[in-house]
Amino acid sequence: MPVAALRLAASATIVVLTLAAPAAAQQQPTPAPNTTVAATTTTIPAGCSAPMALSAEFVGKVVAGDARVARFQVLEVRQGTLPGTTVDVDYGDNDDRRFVQQDKTYLVAVALDPESTRLVSKVRTPRAEAKGCAPYDPIYTNNANGSHIDSSVLSGLDGKWGDMAMAFLIPTGAVFAVLLGLVILKHTFLLTGRGVRYARARHRSRPSPPAGRPPRAGGRPPVRRTRTHSAPPSPG
């Protein structure tokens, strides 16, 4: 009996411990999840407009275009995706197309304009934006080495100094030639008038020929004799 009672008590203890284990496990507190998220946005200073989202960044060579759009041959894509190996980039909103030269290579960051569905970029800071807003706007076209494109007044003349010189010298030379011709013509008339007046004055100053028969051709000119008054001979 005592042995049977001990066995029965042990079995009851095992059953109780087995039933209590899941309950204890359910009562343990679960750790709180990590809700910290790294910041992915940059604070834009007051007075600066929110920039357009970057669509792509690539290295490209200008192969064609017009006064508003530059066509690039894509040499390397660094970020994003492009619709092809040749893309058109619109610079018309900021009037920067003249700073992007033909046959030159640039590092181009473009955005997709939601209104025109064109790829757009710029060289200068927009007129409505402060200069300090430029670092917060990624949509710019730079030189291939990453330096800023020269957008000064004379930068558009890069490689065109010969054309500018010819455009200036040809009209200047034409005006000078016309003025020189007028001066020469004026002095010609003056000299001609002086010559005519001199000839007339000289002609008037010549002595008039004597009256009488003209001398024979090939003969000796007649001897001009003058009458002299002599006293009559005195009586002898």
Q: Assess if residue 80 is contained within a domain.
A: yes
Domain match, 94 and 167 both: no
Dist. CA 81–CA 87, nearest whole Å: 11
Dist. CA 61–CA 7, nearest whole Å: 92
158-192 burial: b if 16+ Cβ within 10 Å, else e = eeeeeeeeeeeeeeeeeeeeeeeeeeeeeeeeeee
113, 120 Cβ separation under 8 angstroms: yes
pLDDT, residue 74, reads 97
Domain match, 76 and 147 both: yes
Range of the domain at 63: 56-151
Which residues lie across from 86 on neighbouring strands? Answer: 73
Q: Assess if residue 51 is contained within a domain.
A: no
Number of domains in the chain: 2
Spans in the chain with pLDDT lower than 50: 1, 15, 21-26, 28-40
pLDDT, residue 43, reads 79
Dist. CA 21–CA 24, nearest whole Å: 5
* pLDDT tens figures, 130-173: 888 888 999 999 999 999 999 876 555 555 656 666 777 788 88
pLDDT, residue 164, reads 63
pLDDT, residue 199, reads 72
Q: Assess if residue 130 is contained within a domain.
A: yes
pLDDT, residue 189, reads 74
pLDDT, residue 217, reads 61
Domain match, 119 and 192 both: no
pLDDT, residue 25, reads 45
48, 132 Cβ separation under 8 angstroms: yes
Q: Assess if residue 215 is contained within a domain.
A: no
| Separation in Å, CA 220 to CA 210, 217, 227 | 16, 8, 21
Dist. CA 173–CA 203, nearest whole Å: 44
Domain match, 174 and 115 both: no
| Amino acid identity at 191 | L
pLDDT, residue 127, reads 85
